[in-house]
Amino acid sequence: METATLDGKAIALGDAYRHAGKILNGAAFPLVAGLGADVAGARAAILLAERLKGAFDHLASRETLADIDVKRSFGMFTTTANEARLRGDCVVLIGPGLTQAWPGMLERLALAEPPRRGAQAQQPRKVIWVGPDGDEANAVPGAKVIPASVQELSGVLAAWRARFGGRPVALDAEKVALIDGLVETLRNARFGVFVWSASTLDPLAIEMLQALVIELNATTRVTGVHIGGRSGASGVTQTAGWMTGFPPRTGFGRGYPEHDPWRFESSRLVDSGEADAALWISAFDGEKPSWSRADIPLITLAPAHTAPSRGLFIKVGQPGVTHDAVLMSQETGGMMLRRASAPTDAPSVAQAIGAIMAEVSEGAWR
């Protein structure tokens, strides 16, 4: 597989970097998007967006910002996966696809084992899973499974909160009895834990969940573990925070960082024509951009097997696979160095962007 292509035809890597610089030099408002990269790649991408006075966005920003919106406007109780594993005597899993979003979840939280510490140490751990998909329903032996579609999750949480407060709900007696039993289980927990992914919950549902957590904390101890977005979203968000003070969907058009989840959303910028060139980064799995406009000058940094047929493509390695990478760890809640499992000489995102930046003239750093 060629290391670089232009509209599907192989070109020399040096020529690819020069062509990328030409595209970005000629853009009035370039977009750095996708941002599926490790910490070093995210730093390089954000610096490039700043120097070009463009904008940057991550492909999983919707999920990331759903959690951030609740933190900013309402507040949020969270803990680490390790604390949940050691002390959680009642674990409530919310929504489908959690084992896809976090493949090591079942093992890391040790849901089939009793908690090791706390008031319920060595007592059977209660597990409730609301709305799992078909493959997940039997993943935890003995778990209480509550069938619910993604669209019904907000209503389920609202009903739980209402019954916890002693308020009536418009449900039949059998469902009310079921909810009351679950609420009583939560009320009697000594260290309850909710686990969710914003890929299936919107901000209002997350806020409803956190409101229930807050009310439960008046009489017991309950917290949460949120599963970060795909393609390194949590690490990129942390990197953006310490570099600019803001998460992704931030622009530098006025010479300083401005965060606006609507203005700097990548699909909107491209489809509206406000962005006139784009650098798309997806080093983990080569996920394609979701915007509908096809004529924007496009530079793609992704693994070899995902090369697009249009635009400029530069092959990069996969973080933690082809090269060592610092990534946010869901297991520890902190940054972690992941050693390359199958090292190659493919450039990292940071190296590729460094070569592109060398081709961007100072006059473009307007």
Q: Report whether 300 contacts 280 (CB < 8 A).
A: yes
DSSP 34: E
Q: Report the C-alpha gap between 189 and 170 in whole angstroms.
A: 26
In the predicted structure, residue 362 carries a pLDDT above the cut 90: no
Tokens of 282: 């997806």
Q: Bridge-partner residues for 111, per DSSP?
A: none
Q: What is the pLDDT of residue 171?
A: 87
Among 71, 135, 125, 57, smallest CA distance to 99 is for: 135
CA 113 to chain centre: 28
DSSP 287: P
**Exposure string over 30-43, b if 16+ CB within 10 A, otherwise e:** bbbbbbbbbbbbbb
Average pLDDT score over residue span 4-21: 95
**Exposure string over 128-138, b if 16+ CB within 10 A, otherwise e:** bbbbbeeebee
DSSP 348: P
Tokens of 22: 């030409």
Average pLDDT score over residue span 333-339: 93
Q: Report the C-alpha gap between 183 and 56 in whole angstroms.
A: 43
Q: What is the pLDDT of residues 205-243, one digit of tens each?
A: 999 999 999 999 999 999 999 999 999 999 999 999 999
Q: What is the pLDDT of residues 249-284, one digit of tens each?
A: 999 999 999 999 999 999 999 999 999 999 999 999
In the predicted structure, residue 307 carries a pLDDT above the cut 80: yes
- At 272, which amino acid appears? S
Of the chain, the end-to-end C-alpha distance in Å amounts to 37
Q: Report the C-alpha gap between 221 and 88 in whole angstroms.
A: 10
* pLDDT band per the 50, 70, 90 thresholds, residue 1: low
Packed helices 233-244 and 39-51: angle between N→C axes, nearest 10 degrees: 50
Q: Bridge-partner residues for 94, per DSSP?
A: 130, 196
Q: What is the pLDDT of residue 118?
A: 80
Tokens of 339: 């050693």
Helix (H, G, I), strand (E, B) or coil at 350: helix
Q: Report the C-alpha gap between 55 and 261 in whole angstroms.
A: 11
**CA-based radius of gyration for the chain:** 23
In the predicted structure, residue 363 carries a pLDDT above the cut 60: no
Q: What is the pLDDT of residue 136?
A: 85
Average confidence score pLDDT of the chain: 93
DSSP 223-253: EEEEEPPTTTHHHHHHHHHHHHSS-SSEE-T
- At 321, which amino acid appears? V
218 CB-near residues (< 8 Å, 6+ apart):
none
In the predicted structure, residue 366 carries a pLDDT above the cut 80: no
- At 292, which amino acid appears? S
Q: What is the pLDDT of residue 364?
A: 46
Q: What is the pLDDT of residue 190?
A: 94
Average pLDDT score over residue span 8-34: 96
Q: What is the pLDDT of residues 139-169, one digit of tens each?
A: 888 899 999 888 889 988 999 999 998 898 8
Q: What is the pLDDT of residues 54-102, one digit of tens each?
A: 999 999 999 999 999 999 988 899 999 999 999 999 999 999 999 999 9
